[in-house]
């Protein structure tokens, strides 16, 4: 059965059309205003940071030239000998690369434990005391605000050269980064189980153990794995300040213009990071899938 569509009077329809056009024009002007402000800020930032596009265009060839010099000469007829020449120090580099991974692992593990302990005190839905939350959050901010390379330099001065400085630096930075992420996960939980436990007279620790942890465990593990990936990259440059790992060997190759050594070490780091990314990605996907099945 056909239904008749009511038609507004011409005067009312015209008024609505004008109101709609006015609203659209206002939104368009607001959008253009925001874009104009962003453009001005970009220009000001570029001037203050001494960004010169023409300088980039003029010298971009130097970057390509440097990359070209780092590439080894590989021939089909003498491929294995060329590869052996390229990776002439593979054993030492591989040991340093393993050391880099272990630095990242230990830093992530220790930092993750401390972040786990502190995140609950920084969560607004679990801790009502504003002073406790303020202190916990400011401490986490301090840990993640100071660059890990700066912490590494401080610990090298304090404890001497070696992997220990790198582990301590990554631990502190991981506490700040993971602590914030963990706290956000806790603040997004369903509070009904928490309220039910509180109603039965459960202690704060019991509430966290039985009402919070079951909801956040997979999220915590996922963020910890992501942080491990980041720390592997960070540990790769810790050697620049003598904090262990392959970074120091990489810096020596760059400073002494050992071009092929630069590409060999860089390729090893890239392959390692890719493999770790692929492995942790699979684990994270499984954890996220398990969380959604609950």
What does the pLDDT look like over 252-267, one tens digit per residue? Answer: 998 888 999 999 999 9
| Res 67: pLDDT | 83
Tokens of 264: 């060999």
Per-residue pLDDT, averaged over 99-115, amounts to 95
For residue 292, pLDDT beyond 70 = no
| Core vs surface per residue 18-37: b (16+ CB within 10 A) or e | eeeeeeeeeeeeeeeeeeee
**CB-count burial class (<10 Å; 0-12, 13-18, 19+) for 80:** exposed
| Res 165: pLDDT | 92
Give pTM, 2 decimals: 0.79
C-alpha dist (Å) from residue 261 to 86, 87, 257, 265: 7, 8, 9, 6
**Torsion angle defined by CA atoms of residues 52, 57, 59 and 64, in that order, rounded to the nearest 10 degrees:** 140
DSSP-based helix, strand, coil % in the chain, nearest 5: 80, 0, 20
| Res 198: pLDDT | 87
What does the pLDDT look like over 230-247, one tens digit per residue? Answer: 999 888 888 888 888 898
- In the predicted model, what is the mean pLDDT of the chain? 87
C-alpha dist (Å) from residue 236 to 124, 131, 132, 183: 36, 38, 36, 28
What does the pLDDT look like over 171-198, one tens digit per residue? Answer: 999 999 999 999 999 999 988 988 898 8
What does the pLDDT look like over 3-62, one tens digit per residue? Answer: 556 666 777 777 788 888 888 889 999 999 999 999 999 889 888 888 888 887 888 878
């Amino acid at each position: 059965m056909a239904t008749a569509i009511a038609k507004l009077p011409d005067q009312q329809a015209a008024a609505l059309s004008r109101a709609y056009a006015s609203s659209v024009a206002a939104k368009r002007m607001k959008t253009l205003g925001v874009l104009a402000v962003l453009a001005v800020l970009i220009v000001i930032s570029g001037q203050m940071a001494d960004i010169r596009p023409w300088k980039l265009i003029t010298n971009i060839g130097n970057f390509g030239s440097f990359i070209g010099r780092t590439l080894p000469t590989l021939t089909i007829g003498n491929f294995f000998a060329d590869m052996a020449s390229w990776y002439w120090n593979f054993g030492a580099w591989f040991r340093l690369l393993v050391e880099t991974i272990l630095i990242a692992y230990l830093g992530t593990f220790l930092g993750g434990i401390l972040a786990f302990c502190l995140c609950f005190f920084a969560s607004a839905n679990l801790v009502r005391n504003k002073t406790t939350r303020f202190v916990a959050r400011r401490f986490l901010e301090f840990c993640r605000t100071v660059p890990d390379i700066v912490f590494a330099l401080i610990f090298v001065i304090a404890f001497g050269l070696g992997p220990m400085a790198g582990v301590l630096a990554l631990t502190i930075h991981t506490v700040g980064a993971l602590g914030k992420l963990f706290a956000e996960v806790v603040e997004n939980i369903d509070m009904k189980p928490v309220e039910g436990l509180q109603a039965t007279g459960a202690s704060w620790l019991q509430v966290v153990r039985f009402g919070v942890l079951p909801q956040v465990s997979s999220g915590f593990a996922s963020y910890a794995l992501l942080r491990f990936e980041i720390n592997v990259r960070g540990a790769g440059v810790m050697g620049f300040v003598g904090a262990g790992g392959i970074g120091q060997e990489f810096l020596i190759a760059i400073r002494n213009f050992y071009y092929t050594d630069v590409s060999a070490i860089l390729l090893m780091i890239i392959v390692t990071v890719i493999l770790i990314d692929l492995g942790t990605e699979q684990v994270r996907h499984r954890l996220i899938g398990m969380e959604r099945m609950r």
